[in-house]
Amino acid sequence: MATAARLLLLFLTAAAAGGCSASAWEMNIRLPTEMLSGGDGEGVVAPLIHALRPLLGSGGLLAARAGVACDSWRLGVEAHNVIGWKTVPARCEGYVGHYMLGGHYRRDSAVVVDEAIAYAESLKLAGNGKEIWVFDIDETSLSNLPYYAKHGFGATPYNDTSFREYVAEGSAPALPETRRLYRRLLQLDIKPVFLTGRTEDQRAITVTNLRRQGYSGWEKLLLKPAVHAAGELQGSAVAYKSGERQKLKDAGFTIIGNIGDQWSDILGAPEGARTFKLPDPMYYIG
């Protein structure tokens, strides 16, 4: 079998082994491709980004070839030891792409959500209608991978104009793991509250996108004032989100849990009774 054909077969086998079904979430992400020349002279279209297979050493070998310990860099990001960065290191673009589009990202997300559900199910709730769980939106409830797959997986500088155009499409797929948590919380009579860095002028399309992706029945959807889009009233995400959570507490709500992809989603009192951090090596918000 030609080398290119074997690579394509490895990709398909790896995806299946990783447990990634062909759901709407995956189907919304179009993999960049290239034409490879097989040993039999026939061209084969193969994905440029294939499923991350750590047991085969793909991540480690990629990091070694790049001269950057990309897997260690990602660990530093998730542990909040690497902070204040503007873009993914250029040499780690492929590594991050492998991670995000392969089964590894989904498995890591599932571990977080499994723990969150186990915690929620263990609680003795007052049942007073004031117990809430705070959800971030981008890279938490909705995935912007269709956008970032076309923009270097965070290796190119953030472009607010193009990202806002993408948000306006209302096409972001749900992160299935987070939606599973969301639905279980509703069953437990814990009310979801969305707290996002999106702005008020994006409210209508955000509501539409959330509903399209199976989210409903939330208690509140909290967004920044639209003036933030013009660069006014800028402040840290920690200050903004912790301030909004304080308003919820002052209104008599009890924050049972809090989940987000950024540390700025979950830092700053009142954080909530327990916080959960989803993986996201594509961008940093302080």
Residue range 261-277, pLDDT digits in tens: 999 999 999 999 999 99
pLDDT above 50 for 232: no
Domain membership of residue 158 (yes or no) is yes
pLDDT above 80 for 206: yes
pLDDT above 90 for 7: no
Answer with the residue of higher pLDDT: 149 or 12: 149
Domain membership of residue 103 (yes or no) is yes
- Cα–Cα distance between 65 and 176 in angstroms, integer? 33
Q: On the CB side of 279, how many CA atoms lie within 13 Å of its CA?
A: 22
pLDDT above 60 for 76: yes
Task: Quote the mean pLDDT of the chain.
Answer: 82
pLDDT above 80 for 43: no
Q: What is the band of 9 on the pLDDT scale with cuts at 50, 70, 90? A: very low
Domain membership of residue 41 (yes or no) is no
Domain membership of residue 245 (yes or no) is yes
Strands 191-199 and 220-224 turn out to be parallel
**The two structure tokens encoding residue 198:** 């999106």
Going by C-alpha positions, the residue among 41, 1, 282 that lies closest to residue 148 is 282
Residue range 82-137, pLDDT digits in tens: 999 999 999 999 999 999 998 999 999 999 999 999 999 999 999 999 999 999 99
Segment 185-195 shows an average pLDDT of 98
**The two structure tokens encoding residue 68:** 């950057």
pLDDT the model gives residue 254: 98
Q: How many CB atoms lie within 10 A of CB 254?
A: 16
- Whether residue 141 contacts residue 176, with contact meaning beta carbons closer than 8 Å, is answered with no
Going by C-alpha positions, the residue among 203, 205, 214 that lies closest to residue 173 is 214
Segment 209-223 shows an average pLDDT of 98
Element (H, E) at 196: strand 191-199
Domain membership of residue 18 (yes or no) is yes
Domain membership of residue 44 (yes or no) is no
Q: What is the band of 42 on the pLDDT scale with cuts at 50, 70, 90? A: low
pLDDT above 60 for 61: no
pLDDT the model gives residue 68: 55
- Whether residue 46 contacts residue 34, with contact meaning beta carbons closer than 8 Å, is answered with yes
Strands 33-37 and 43-47 turn out to be antiparallel
CATH of the domain at 112: 3.40.50.1000
How many domains does the chain divide into? 1
Greatest alpha-carbon pair distance for the chain in Å reads 70
- Whether residue 6 contacts residue 50, with contact meaning beta carbons closer than 8 Å, is answered with no
Q: What is the band of 235 on the pLDDT scale with cuts at 50, 70, 90? A: confident
**The two structure tokens encoding residue 204:** 């209508």
Answer with the residue of higher pLDDT: 179 or 42: 179
pLDDT the model gives residue 23: 42
Domain membership of residue 285 (yes or no) is no
Residue 204's domain spans which residues?
3-31+52-277
Domain membership of residue 218 (yes or no) is yes
**Terminal C-alpha separation, the chain:** 49
pLDDT the model gives residue 227: 72
Omega cis (within 30) before 279: no
- Percentage of the chain exceeding pLDDT 90: 72
